[in-house]
Structure 1
Amino acid sequence: MKFVDEATISVEAGKGGNGCLSFRREKYVPKGGPDGGDGGDGGSIYLEADSGLNTLIDYRYTRRYKAQNGEGGMGRNCTGSKGEDLILKVPVGTTVIDIDTNEVLMDLTEVGQREKVAQGGFHGLGNTRFKSSVNRAPRQTTNGSAGELRNLKLELKVLADVGLLGLPNAGKSTFVRAVSAATPKVANYPFTTLVPSLGVVRTERNRSFVVADIPGIIEGAAEGAGLGIRFLKHLARNRVLLHLVDMAPWDEVTPAQAAAVAVEELAKFSQTLADQPRWLVLNKIDMVPAEELEERCQAVVDALQWQGPVYRIAAISGEGTQSLVGDLQNFLDERAQAFADDPELQEQENEVRAMIDAEARLHIERLRAEMRARKEAAEDDDDFDDDDYDVDVEYVR
């Protein structure tokens, strides 16, 4: 299935039905008076969060949606039928933005949540509405109003409690396999993970949390290099980030240097996101000679000036993962209880998430504007190939 996390669509609600101009014309009733009915309201358009969807791919191929118009009024005071509402299903975690105003309209974060995005037009009035003591045969009617037209941008952010941050080949997918039933692709080369994947970690019968694995980031990711910048926004809604560091790298970059790169790129993308709770996880310790392990681990801690939790694991064998998972579950439960006990704390959390979303959106828009500018500049070059820039890539899993 193709994973698409952004789409642009146009939605138009139905037009209201026109009012009817009609008079009673029956035998022996020469002056029956007006009997024109009202029109029906136009259909509205709603977006509904559906747990069965995990991509916006359908909205890449069909971009225009229109609800049904209301039926016109009829004689004998018959009202036209209402236009049928149009309900568009989207994945849970979809943010809806009005392109024309750049306003965030809604955030669909719960299964079954339904929100109106385009109001149907209101019905017109039939001539019966205009009769009075001085106007017994009115010929006045009104037309139904037009339905609301909106250009929308849909952004999908995966919903997870724990997000994994790290360079390519740090062992993020292996960790997800080790602690959950998910089976993301694992191989001994960078960029094995091309799209985000989720795994459910069950610590007890009724206790669990969701972990999100995103493509690794590389140096320069904040300026558009690699795959990670596109998917960093999926970490915006996590309660805690796990920063995985490869302690046995395949290239000449030391673990300390790799850890510093990831933190630097995260801060460039969104400083607010970088300030969120983050735990340091030193992975692949089974591949490090015993006499070098302590020195390498301490070098990473010193390079980051780390003050938070530090865990040493070997994801491929599961060594150290159980204590990490248990501590994560307790941390998440405590935060959930704190939010339940203090509504103000939950409101502050929501404000932080909104700030991260805004920073991420501005950063990505700036990068796209720079890419468009480079493309326009390159078009003046005779050697420019149209296929070199602005390629729309859809990754297949």
Structure 2
Amino acid sequence: MTYKSDLLTLLSGRDYIHQTTDADGLDALASKEIVTGYVGFDATAPSLHVGSLVQIMLLRRLQQAGHRPIVLMGGGTTKVGDPSGKDESRQLLTPEFIDRNIATIRKVFERFLRFDDSETGAIMVNNDDWLGDLNYLDLLRDVGPHFTINRMMTFDSVKLRLEREQPLTFLEFNYMILQAYDFRELHQRHGCRLQMGGSDQWGNIVNGIELTRRMGGGEELFGVTTPLITTADGKKMGKTASGAVWLNEDQLSAYDYWQFWRNTDDADVVKFLKLFTDIPLDDVDRLSKLEGAAINEAKIALANAATAMLHGEDAAHQAEQTARKTFEEGASDANLPSVETGGSIGVMDALNRLGFVASNGEAKRKIKEGAVKLDDAVVNDLQLQIDVAGDPVKISLGKKKHGLLLP
């Protein structure tokens, strides 16, 4: 489909669009005026992970196309918990814990968005500012009549939980009402007319549009969702054997972040170049034609661009140089992930603390397979105690994971 606006042309060209509520209407609006749009994020952890990156990039694309992004932090809804895609209820968090998480998460958004007082400057808001002051009886009276239990039971976030015979608390059941109310509040407070999110948020987005209309919102609101981003092996984006790929550097080093992108499956490289980098589409097209070993050029371009966006150009360059020394020259480097051992550490403990494995069982299996090396010598002893008295010891798992054991 051909669009008139820079916004939908950009989103379509880089394959972000899965569904839109009214593509023609949004295209016309974005062609003639600045559109304010938002994406909501949980504050359940001190950092977001790569699974949230496509939504962060949506806001970046919105700003690149000359529009205004709102980062909505769910300080209020995090107290409830989004049941979408979850089999179990989330642990309830204290307000202080949620506030600390929001403060650390903001640092990531400052890498991707321009926060200033201009017409297209990004803003970050917290839905606890309005949800925290809601009188429950007023909410039931004013908002409750616009939701029917019959319709709420049809949403996947509810239906799937019940089909799996997993409990769905009344608290969580209210989540979709609160999220719909967010869109109405953002429209009233900031003139927001667009909500974006993953495909699992479609029902919540439509609810927000309908609620605003029923409660007297005069302007048409719009929704855009992205496809579910999976890797070539069918796994959800951002999940690895070693755990989540965090965006905050204190939870995942720039080197490990670079390595995540460098290890992208051949079949995913072009998709990820479009979604997660600013590399021009003409250059992406050139990189897409690489075959065989030459495709590593595209993977390095992906890793460099993605890492530079989050951690800066210097960090990306250092990560590439470290990888080159480690893989091509067989040398150790101070930029490798490291663990302080106090002079001695068990081999399985070392693998776990570096995040190379998810459990002792996996560590045992890798050692038995001959995949673990110390200074390039294969480890066979499951109970090996590694002495680290002087120089750092390099430990490797396979060809792609390398770390240093420090005294």
Specify if TM > 0.5.
Answer: no
TM-score with structure 1 setting the length:
0.25
Structure number with bigger Rg: 1
Bigger proportion of residues as helix:
2
Bigger proportion of residues as strand:
1
